[in-house]
Chain A
Amino acid sequence: MKRRKFDLAAAPGKAAAGLDDRFRAATPLRHVLNKVFPDHWSFLLGEIALFSFIVLLLTGTFLTFFFEPSMTEVVYNGSYAPLRGTPMSAAYASSLNLSFEVRGGLIMRQMHHWAALLFMAAIVVHMLRIFFTGAFRKPRETNWIIGSLLFWIGFLAGFTGYSLPDDGLSGTGLRIASAIMLSIPVIGSWLTSSIFGGEFPGTIIISRFFIAHVLLIPALLLALISVHVGLVFTQKHTQWPGPGRTNGNVVGERMFPRYAIKQGGFFMIVFGVIALMGGLFQINPIWLFGPYEAWVVSAASQPDWYVMFLDGSTRLMPAWQITIPLGDGYVIPPLFWPTVVLPGILVGLSTLYPFLEARHLKDYRTHNLLQRPRDVPARTAAGAMALAFYLVLTLSGANDVIADKFQISLNAMTWAGRVGLLILPPLAYYVTYRLCLGLQQHDREVLAHGVETGIIRRMPDGRFVEVHQPLSAQDHDGHGALEYTGWVVPKKMNRLGALGPAIRGFFYPIEKPAEAPVSPGHPPVEPRPEREEITSGSESHR
């Protein structure tokens, strides 16, 4: 009998060949695996959102096994003594059981909530990166629009999820949401009764929000995220300008193996940070809020941070009620403007921004290279203005907590918010614009005159001058001939190799730092020339 020899080393190859024979996967897969991604820390911010979305799906699935989306009244008889014997909805009772009875339930609930906050935070931070570097320009406007829609859908996901436990705090939020819907002229009351199935709170809203939260919204998010990431693949990632990088190429690492391994590691880190926060920091202690009753409301009832700007705009809005003398008098309540009109304007402005900017600059070309924020002062300043506006609103959403804990009058906080909302954004615009111009000027100065060495030289006639290290050969005026290329200009001597290489290693020095493999797109790196003393040279200053 002949014993067949099993060759372990050939097994993966054989299996792959077998797969390729059947599915013809090699050609498209090679295309994907060989995809080159540019590398910069700021390109990883969007991944935080993607990875926390994965954590959200995982933890959320766990939670659905134990959550009961029903408003049937039950009497709690679980292990949390301070609520025992209290009548409450089945949704709240099952959330309590999820927290106290189910093994690992509380950390799952907390991880889910922290992951939701992180998802939204990462979306905003990623969006800021895209905005300030001009990555939304042609051809990527569609992805910008999808991204801003993802924020608003995430907003809805967060709000519906936050309402599900039916605790005192989320019920207060739901009441506010119903008031916002009611404030819409003409259709308000119909809209509210159709969503709540009658008067607030009704008996159906938790089940409706549940299906929206676990099926409709995640499906929409998943679809949009797929298109978002797919577009990054087909349109290629933007990159910073620099040596060897043009509008027509991508310099970086291949998808497989290095980029994929890095992303896998980053996913582990994101998962780890969420798990740590879920384990260390208590979030949304629903057992303290008690079951929602229409007559229960607590001080410091805030929504989660990404909704807080709407709470803030409501708190700052003066009580301007418009009464239209039609029939018995038709009223547009003041709530309508800060909670329906303002977000409407914000959605419109944010989605249309790429087109507005292109139209304003008459720039319809394709851009694959990013811009440093300082090089486009108007856009950077506009972004700072929007950020200041958003921050004032968000802080105003917590103005009662700030007033109480910092012992400021609440009325003063409200007025500071109103005044700040009008004054701070233009101020932020002006200051940012000037900062950008100043940074630009300094870049040009260094290119022309060289890096400041920190060496002060006294001339024979008594003057003191600082010695500059020119970056290139200089003309007779002492000016360098380097052009600004849109990338970092070295401003410190050790960026030029004036100091020896930094000794690598965190706990102990690594004697010979290993050279990282360089991808072929990189220009050859020349060895550092031997150190020589910096001489002042009478023409090297100015």
Chain B
Amino acid sequence: MTSDNDRRRGLLARLRERPAARSRGRRRLGAAVRLLAALTLAGGAYTLFAPGAQAQDAPPMSSAAAEGKALFDVSCVTCHGRNAQGVEGRGPSLIGVGAASVEFQVGSGRMPLARQEAQAHRKPPLFTDEQTRQLAQYVQELGGGPELPEGTNLHSDGDIATGGELFRINCSQCHAFGAGGGALSSGKFAPSLRPASDRQIYAAMLSGPQNMPVFGDNQLRPEQKADIIAYIQETLKHDQDPGGFNLGRYGPSTEGLAIFLVGIVALVFASLWIAGKS
């Protein structure tokens, strides 16, 4: 019966069971050793993982990031605050947004922002590519985040047919079938993709700027992103519009305008001409 009882008592109970009585001296010694070991472990771990006091004095920043910080402190600090921590009501923290986000926002001229409004507009970029990379490096080294692959052509091995299918499922809801952009609520909008470069499209998918959702690598794999970029760059931008002038690819709204402005106007003039010949 005893063995049955033993087995029935759980592991915890057996652990909790007081060990056989030991001498007081041995117990004290053991406690002291354990305390010492715990303190050493904690202290060691702290010195290993916590930034040391000297880290403040000599940041482990690359030279590019240091250049970027200099630019940041001149052009971005007003809204994004010191060390990109963000300023309440002006600009968000940039810790963890990653180089991809900086490259999209600064590289497309959206940042620095012209004014606070529903959404930033694309404009001629203020910084050169070199400076943009430095800013990106700085933000990347501040808090990590998504990064872009190297190179300016990111769609060389993309498949346009797959890309088209993915584009229609994931992108055309907002950017429209012709990638001309579309309206969102309260003055926000999905911009036209026509001026966007490979890197900007990739960065946008990776970082989800403004109202765009993030398409991380677990949602759209890198090769799928390449497919989508290939569809946008090869098909939508280079489509020859076999049917003629594409009327802006806005769909039936401009077609309706055209039938009145061109068709009906031409035929009313024709009927004026015919009736005037009596």
Q: Which residues of A contact B (CB under 8 A)?
A: 39-45, 47-48, 81-86, 99-100, 106, 110, 114, 117-118, 121-122, 125, 168-169, 253, 258, 262, 265-266, 269-270, 273-274, 277, 279-285, 288-290, 293, 295-306, 308, 394, 397-398, 400-401, 403-405, 407-412, 516
B235 contacts A by Cβ under 8 Å = yes
Q: In the complex, which of the residues A82, A85, A298 contacts B231, with contact meaning CB atoms closer than 8 Å?
A: A82
The 5 closest A-B pairs by CB, nearest first: A305-B256, A299-B182, A282-B243, A44-B271, A398-B253
Which partner residue on chain B sits nearest A110 by CB separation?
B243
Tell whether, in the assembled complex, residue A302 and residue B253 are in contact, meaning their CB atoms are under 8 Å apart. Answer: yes
A299-B175 in contact given A41-B271, A82-B160, A118-B259 (Cβ < 8 Å): yes
B183 contacts A by Cβ under 8 Å = yes
Q: In the complex, which of the residues A44, A168, A296, A405 contacts B275, with contact meaning CB atoms closer than 8 Å?
A: A44
Tell whether, in the assembled complex, residue B268 and residue A41 are in contact, meaning their CB atoms are under 8 Å apart. Answer: yes
Q: How far is the CA of A119 from the CA of B103 in the complex (A)?
A: 51
B186 contacts A by Cβ under 8 Å = yes
A81-B255 in contact given A282-B247, A300-B250, A409-B186 (Cβ < 8 Å): no
Tell whether, in the assembled complex, residue A114 and residue B189 are in contact, meaning their CB atoms are under 8 Å apart. Answer: no
B residues within 8 A CB of A281?
Answer: 243-245, 247, 255, 258, 262
Tell whether, in the assembled complex, residue B253 and residue A82 are in contact, meaning their CB atoms are under 8 Å apart. Answer: no
B270 contacts A by Cβ under 8 Å = yes
B176 contacts A by Cβ under 8 Å = yes
Q: Choose the segment among B63-71, B161-169, B208-216 that binds chain A (4+ C-beta atoms closer than 8 Å).
A: B161-169
Chain B proximity of A174: nearest CB distance (Å): 15
Number of interface residues of B (CB under 8 A): 62
A residues within 8 A CB of B259?
Answer: 114, 117-118, 121, 277, 305
Q: In the complex, which of the residues A273, A288, A302 contacts B249, with contact meaning CB atoms closer than 8 Å?
A: A288
Which partner residue on chain A sits nearest B245 by CB separation?
A281
A285-B189 in contact given A273-B263, A277-B258, A296-B172 (Cβ < 8 Å): no
Tell whether, in the assembled complex, residue A41 and residue B244 are in contact, meaning their CB atoms are under 8 Å apart. Answer: no
B residues within 8 A CB of A299?
Answer: 172-177, 181-183, 190
Chain B proximity of A277: nearest CB distance (Å): 6
**14 other contacts beyond A42-B271, A48-B264, A270-B267, with CB at 8 A cut-off?**
A82-B160, A117-B256, A277-B258, A289-B168, A289-B177, A296-B169, A298-B172, A299-B173, A300-B250, A302-B252, A305-B259, A401-B254, A404-B182, A408-B187
Q: How far is the CA of A80 from the CA of B21 in the complex (A)?
A: 87
Tell whether, in the assembled complex, residue A282 and residue B177 are in contact, meaning their CB atoms are under 8 Å apart. Answer: no
Tell whether, in the assembled complex, residue B241 and residue A282 are in contact, meaning their CB atoms are under 8 Å apart. Answer: yes
B128 contacts A by Cβ under 8 Å = no
Tell whether, in the assembled complex, residue B252 and residue A303 are in contact, meaning their CB atoms are under 8 Å apart. Answer: yes
Chain A proximity of B43: nearest CB distance (Å): 57
Q: How far is the CA of A118 from the CA of B255 in the complex (A)?
A: 11
Q: Which of B146-169 contact A (CB under 8 A)?
A: 160-161, 164-165, 168-169
